[in-house]
Amino acid sequence: MLSESVTRAGQLAEHVDVDPDRIALVIRDFPVRINPYYLSLIRQPGDPMWRQAVPDPVELADTAGSADPLCEEARSPVPGLIHRYPDRAVFLVSDRCAMHCRFCMRKRRVGGVSRNDRIAAGIDTIRRTPDIAEVVLSGGDPLMLDDDRLARLLDQIRRINHVRLVRIHSRMPCTLPHRITDNLVHVLKAFQPIYLNTHFNHPGEITERSSAACVRLADAGIPLGCQTVLLKGVNDDPAVMRRLMRGLLAIRVRPYYLHQLDRVRGTGHFHVPVATGLQIMDALRGHLSGMGVPHYMVDLPGGGGKIPLTPNYVVDKHPGRWTIRNFEGRHFNYPV
């Protein structure tokens, strides 16, 4: 199915109503890949799936963002390994994805070819850094590695005594659920404990096929979380976000993070103000099971790390008591 993906402007124009000449200019800087499965989810121009997948000339008009706003390269002791936090490292083991999301935080690198020497250098650095207790496989998408290569990589990591936990960040259960085969699940199950964070942004992505993929992973004992990105025209609406979070819980995926979009060059048209994000979070609390309310996170520019943002429930502070607002807007005195 990946071999049938749309990767050129002329191909895209055969499937959706776009000007191939204008699109060609975009994909020269920001490559396109839309596999047939995700292409089938698009219902009309400008719908939430279209916005995530189809290149837009406005990507080239964004001058406010930067290629690497989180300074990941500066936090990389070797290429492909990001060591921002003391006890964990992000290991970029692939530069390829089943679909190139137009809002990607790593637009600067997705679409290249994974290099074995880079992976070897990353493994060596992890082995020589005993503070690293957790390794997060990311990319690109680590499930773009074939099963045998993924098994060898997991085996190498598991042989490092100070690594206690492995996380996989993959959008494949959403964008190409066909990848979640019995053999892949068998490989992952062999290297437990493994946690898998996937990435759904809209309830329209929760299909019979993607639901089955997530259930298959959950049945194998692999805990699933979702890292949703707040995107203009996709999910910047409380009703849509509630439907998404309820849908995720139904397929045994726990909402984990709601990410404020990183200021990456070429993604400005997806930006949602933080104030809007806080309003959406306010609309989730009390109207959704606590398990379904994600943490609203901003990744600070300059490599400052992720910080949670929450609505302000403390209305006033008095000696001996605080006034606190509940989800209905009612005020209560709480003794402190």
Name the residue ranges covered by the structural domains of the chain.
2-56+63-315
Cβ(219)–Cβ(251) below 8 Å: no
**Residue 97 annotated as lining a ligand binding site:** yes
Is 84 a catalytic site residue? yes
Going by the DSSP 8-state scheme, the letter that residue 193 receives in this structure is: S
Catalytic residue among 104, 174, 214, 226: 104
Domain 2-56+63-315 falls in which CATH fold?
A: TIM Barrel (3.20.20)
Is 189 a catalytic site residue? no
Instruction: Indicate the pairing of strand 165-169 with strand 134-138.
Output: parallel
Instruction: Indicate the pairing of strand 295-300 with strand 331-335.
Output: unpaired
The DSSP-derived string for 27-64 is: HHHS---B-HHHHTT--STTSHHHHHHS--GGGGG--S
Q: 80: buried, middle or exposed (CB in 10 Å: 19+, 13-18, 0-12)?
A: buried
Is 106 a catalytic site residue? yes
- Could you list the pLDDT tens digit for every one of the 336 residues in the chain? 788 999 999 999 999 999 999 999 999 999 999 999 999 999 999 999 999 999 999 999 988 888 888 888 889 999 999 999 999 999 999 999 999 999 999 887 776 555 667 899 999 999 999 999 999 999 999 999 999 999 999 999 999 999 999 999 999 999 999 999 999 999 999 999 999 999 999 999 999 999 999 999 999 999 999 999 999 999 999 999 999 999 999 999 999 999 999 999 999 999 999 999 999 999 999 889 999 999 999 999 888 899 999 999 999 999 999 999 998 899 999 999
